[in-house]
Structure 1
Amino acid sequence: MTLASPIARAFDVALVPLLLVACAKRQAPPTSDALTPAVVTHVVANDSDDPAIWIDTVDASRSLIVGTDKGDTTGGLYVFTLDGRIDSARTRRPMKRTNNVDIISGVVLGGARIDVAATTERGAQALRLFRLPDMTPIDGGGIRVFDGDSSRAPMGIALYKRPSDGAVFAIVGGKSGPAEGYLWQYRLVDAGNGTLRGEKVRAFGAYSGKKEIESIAVDQQLGYVYYSDETVGIRKYWADPDHAGAATQLALFATTGFVQDHEGLAIYPTSDSTGFLLASDQQGRRLQVFRREGDAGNRHAHTAIATIPVSAEETDGLDVTAHALGPRFPQGMLVMMSTDKTFHLYDWRDVARRIGVGK
């Protein structure tokens, strides 16, 4: 029997916790009952992070998925067809660490109403805007955010269109920020030269100081903005900066039941006022589902009604639509980022069955 030297034994002891940490970070494979995607996209070059769905209102089968690639200098916005292929003609790269993306329709530019994709280009400290479906840039090279403060590099983005006057706003979250006023909201206005510019209208939103705020989602019809305060919960405010209660937090929920990080958020409507709020339980490899309209008797109380295991790994961003997208997605689609550099496209009917509302 050969005895290890004291130095070797000390090295082995020191190595054990490192191995345990590595194992803890390695996510378990999907469970046997995990939701299976109908389509998995082709891979991006670096690091997929967040998707958004663009609806072609003339021919829904030609709708697109726009997804971010967080490469530091070779990232960008990838455009995918509904069968998962990359549309290289409309993909925009290289860009510097494109983080999150959102899409909105009916933005007025040059007297016309257009659809816009907005993304945070973290490495450029800017908000980037593109006209859909051609993905032409309409931001004059980028809209600076957070007054250029590099410690608050932009990550999260959600777009809101106010019903009363059609004003369009971008709500932006950074890598870090204060306990109050973490999110900055910008009104997007016509600059008069074929581009849009941003005008800051407020800073709002509580922050725990625990990790960061990345995922933001707006309920366009009910007028709420939700955001994930990672490891803490989901916060809810009014999206209209001029609302009388705009500065007041309406709810903090989902404070238990998540394995670790609260991530991607999206809303699936079943009517003008009902539906589901979906949230990525990142390390749990699952989807948490809440009633959009709130619990019975309290519209600002949101208790989880379903937990759905998924095949997508460590999902950051997700998006969902109730719009019929052809025979493969007749009741809509859920898109989830996966750490294998892809995006997973799920048939909403499969999600609905897991919630208990589908056939």
Structure 2
Amino acid sequence: MNKLKANIVLVITLVVVGCGSKLPEIIATVVTEQTPHDTDDPAIWVNPDNPSESIVFGTDKNTDGGVYAFDLNGKIIESKSIKNIKRPNNVDVEYGFKLTDSTETDIIAFSERERQQFRVFSVPDIQPLDNGGFKVFEGETELEHNLPMGIALYKSPKTGSIYVIVGRKSGPKLGYLHQYELVSDSLGVHANLVRKFGAFSGKKEIEAIAIDNENGIVYFSDEGHCIRKYYAEPSMGDEEIGCFGGEYFKEDIEGIAIAKYADKGFLIVSNQQAHSFNIFDLETNAFIKELNLGTIETDGCEVTTADLGSQFPNGLFVSMNNDRNFYFHDLDLLKLTE
């Protein structure tokens, strides 16, 4: 091969594999078993009694899809997995939802796109709390404006109320996200719409949503544009308080995870077509660095800084990989605090 042809091949290779290949790969601690169809988004439930028995939930996005439960070895827990879900997209976890004055449970919530609703189940016993599902974006007539995708749970430090914030396949330039309050009474659990908020560039879609509970801030990815930042507390209003980071992404801004330590916080955001992750300072939103964790075309990701026992004593970062699986990284490998 002559020098000109070699250079052409090199350029083509770099374009095809993306920016992430230029970075040294941080090898995953665990790679999970495969799901049947198409992985998308994970959530981590930290077991308060035995952290080493914590559960990672991951969506399998298909008409005959499901939310699969994994142990920390990456093995599917069949008894905790939820099957026959019509295109589940994103999933999230929250702790301490009050069923009665004296009873509470941890919960997962996930979007079910083809039924235009989201689901809520108790954790770890995996029982439905939603009477079959809560409808979202009701009354919408525009194509794809009623198809839920992204979802995140917010527990108000002011009131203890738990809210579900939902994004969709497409929507208006304002009010793209809908926020619902979960309430429980003698008739069961209800989801009450409390507001519509969030700007949309119109370029692609908004899927990834993550919430800083302690500070009451919601972040979401306006793909191809920026990471948007709003107050999660409805009483704080609907004004945008940040739109940042777009220049650091090759194309789509995807999954968002928030890693919080006692004195520092980080946003970890999927740079999807570059097959890498961009790290931002949570307080200033300044870009810090880019990492290659080995995943390809990552949609969703999640993180916990909790000690999960001998296998993940420094915390756990989970990211979707396009080979129908998820990668688990010991959080210390990301060297966020260095």
* Secondary structure, aligned partner of 1:89: helix
1:164 aligns with 2:158: yes
1:107 aligns with 2:113: no
8 A Cα contact 2:20 2:276, kept in partner: no
Q: 1:280 aligns with which of 259, 264, 270?
A: 270
Distance 2:227 2:119 in 1: 26
Deviations 1:110-164 (A, max 9, x none): 3312100000000111110010011111100000000164622000001111111
Distance 1:317 1:255 in 2: 18
Q: Within 5 A, what are the aligned runs for 1:311-326?
A: 311-326=294-309
1:43 aligns with 2:24: no
Match of 2:233? Answer: 240
Match of 1:204? Answer: 197
| Alpha-carbon offset, residue 26 of structure 1 | 6.9
Deviations 1:275-324 (A, max 9, x none): 11110000111110111111xxxxxxx22111111201110000000000
Distance 1:77 1:191 in 2: 27
Distance 1:31 1:326 in 2: 33
8 A Cα contact 2:256 2:302, kept in partner: yes
Q: Within 5 A, what are the aligned runs for 1:81-92?
A: 81-92=71-82
| Alpha-carbon offset, residue 191 of structure 1 | 4.1
* Secondary structure, aligned partner of 1:287: strand
* Secondary structure, aligned partner of 2:209: strand
Distance 2:185 2:165 in 1: 19
| Alpha-carbon offset, residue 266 of structure 1 | 1.0
- Which stretches in structure 1 are left out of the alignment for 5+ residues? 1-20, 295-301
Higher mean alpha-carbon deviation, 23-32 vs 228-237, is at 23-32
Distance 1:322 1:120 in 2: 25
Distance 1:136 1:26 in 2: 42
Distance 1:172 1:233 in 2: 18
Distance 1:323 1:285 in 2: 26
| Alpha-carbon offset, residue 270 of structure 1 | 1.1
* Secondary structure, aligned partner of 1:136: coil
Q: Within 5 A, what are the aligned runs for 1:108-257?
A: 108-111=98-101, 112-147=103-138, 149=140, 151-152=144-145, 153-193=147-187, 195-243=188-236, 246-257=237-248
Match of 2:332? Answer: 349
The change in CA–CA distance for 1:253 and 1:197 in structure 2 (over 3 A counts) is same
Distance 1:108 1:214 in 2: 28
The change in CA–CA distance for 1:240 and 1:29 in structure 2 (over 3 A counts) is closer
What TM-score do you get using the length of structure 1 for normalisation?
A: 0.86
Q: Within 5 A, what are the aligned runs for 1:1-40?
A: 30=21, 33-40=24-31
Deviations 1:254-290 (A, max 9, x none): 020101000000110012x631111000011111011
1:52 aligns with 2:46: no
| Alpha-carbon offset, residue 28 of structure 1 | 8.4
8 A Cα contact 2:265 2:281, kept in partner: yes
Match of 1:5? Answer: none
Match of 1:310? Answer: 293
* Secondary structure, aligned partner of 1:335: strand
Q: Which amino acid aligns with 1:102?
A: D
| Alpha-carbon offset, residue 192 of structure 1 | 2.3
- State the identity as a percent: 40
Match of 1:339? Answer: 322
Match of 1:15? Answer: none
The change in CA–CA distance for 1:99 and 1:320 in structure 2 (over 3 A counts) is same
8 A Cα contact 1:181 1:206, kept in partner: yes
Distance 1:102 1:32 in 2: 30
Q: 1:261 aligns with which of 249, 252, 257?
A: 252
Paired residues, number: 322
Q: Of the two, which has the highest radius of gyration?
A: 1
Distance 1:106 1:128 in 2: 17
What TM-score do you get using the length of structure 2 for normalisation?
A: 0.92
| Alpha-carbon offset, residue 328 of structure 1 | 1.8
| Alpha-carbon offset, residue 102 of structure 1 | 0.4
| Alpha-carbon offset, residue 197 of structure 1 | 1.2
